[in-house]
């Protein structure tokens, strides 16, 4: 999964040139991008038809896209009614008012819950059983905000009005209740940083460096700090 490039829809402009938000695009174009994103991320899919015909996760994303369109175009009641039907048929519950960016993928999809005030950036991937929920302690904006290119592993629970930074990974089975910085992996209950990719420059100190072997005491102290 990691080695794969981030999905870019075939035949469309790259995101560097095309900075439109979902709400500025025609619905069919948004859904097309979702399908190609799923194709790039799913090693078991051999063609776009595998996604169109068999990918439950993509079908969940597509139904959400339609419900969100209805919800934001004055048809809230119909959107909620159809969302209820999707819950029963596909086993996922995405509230139509949630705001989800471009090229969104859900793998497998069963048991996904995304609350009403959740915000998800572009190029995010979530797996089955993920909950973006509220703690029950707050009203208003009470669900998480995910940045761009965030991965949330199977069964992870992300609670409250917290922010998960761009390029972060949330390990399967984690419970996240605090903000997550960009470019780290968090895991566990409660989730803690287990990998930090924020510093990628050259190492200044060699692995076998031992400050106690230095002759000069001043240099020794400055290295120890």
Under the criterion CB under 6 A, does residue 91 sit at the interface with ligand COA?
Answer: no
Under the criterion CB under 6 A, does residue 183 sit at the interface with ligand COA?
Answer: no
Q: Which of 98, 95, 142 is nearest to 120 (CA)?
A: 98
Cβ pair 146, 172 in contact under 8 A: no
Q: Which is nearer to ligand COA, 30 or 126 (CB)?
A: 126
DSSP state of 120: E
Under the criterion CB under 6 A, does residue 41 sit at the interface with ligand COA?
Answer: no
Exactly one of 109, 115, 153, 160 binds ligand COA (CB under 6 A); that residue is: 153
Q: Which is nearer to ligand COA, 20 or 195 (CB)?
A: 195
What CA–CA distance (Å, rounded) separates 6 from 169? 14
List all residues 6 or more positions away from 128 whose beta carbon is below 8 Å from its beta carbon.
57, 106, 107, 108, 109, 110, 111, 112, 154, 155
Interaction mask 120-139, ligand COA, x per CB under 6 A? -------x------------
Exactly one of 75, 172, 175, 223 binds ligand COA (CB under 6 A); that residue is: 172
Bridge partner list, 127: 107
Q: Interface residues with ligand COA (CB under 6 A)?
A: 108, 127, 151, 153-154, 169, 171-173, 185, 187-188, 194-195
């Amino acid at each position: 999964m990691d080695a794969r490039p981030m999905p870019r829809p075939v035949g469309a402009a790259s995101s560097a040139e095309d900075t439109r938000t979902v709400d500025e695009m025609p619905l069919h174009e948004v859904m097309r991008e979702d399908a190609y994103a799923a194709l790039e991320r799913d090693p078991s899919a051999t063609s776009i038809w595998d996604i169109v015909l068999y990918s439950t996760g993509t079908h969940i994303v597509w139904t959400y896209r339609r419900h969100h369109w209805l919800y934001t175009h004055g048809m809230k009641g119909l959107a909620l009614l159809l969302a209820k039907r999707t819950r029963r048929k596909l086993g996922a519950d995405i509230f139509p008012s949630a705001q989800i960016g471009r090229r969104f993928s859900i793998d497998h999809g069963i048991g996904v819950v995304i609350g009403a005030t959740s915000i998800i950036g572009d190029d995010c991937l979530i797996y089955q059983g993920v909950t973006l929920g509220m703690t029950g302690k707050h009203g208003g904006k009470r669900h998480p905000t995910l940045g761009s290119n965030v991965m949330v592993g199977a069964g992870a629970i992300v609670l409250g009005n917290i922010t998960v930074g761009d390029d972060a990974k949330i390990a399967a089975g984690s419970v996240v209740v605090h903000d997550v910085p960009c470019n780290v992996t968090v895991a566990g209950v409660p989730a803690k940083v287990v990998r930090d990719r924020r510093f990628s420059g050259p190492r200044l100190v060699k692995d076998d460096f031992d400050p106690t072997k230095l002759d000069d005491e001043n240099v020794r102290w400055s290295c120890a700090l």
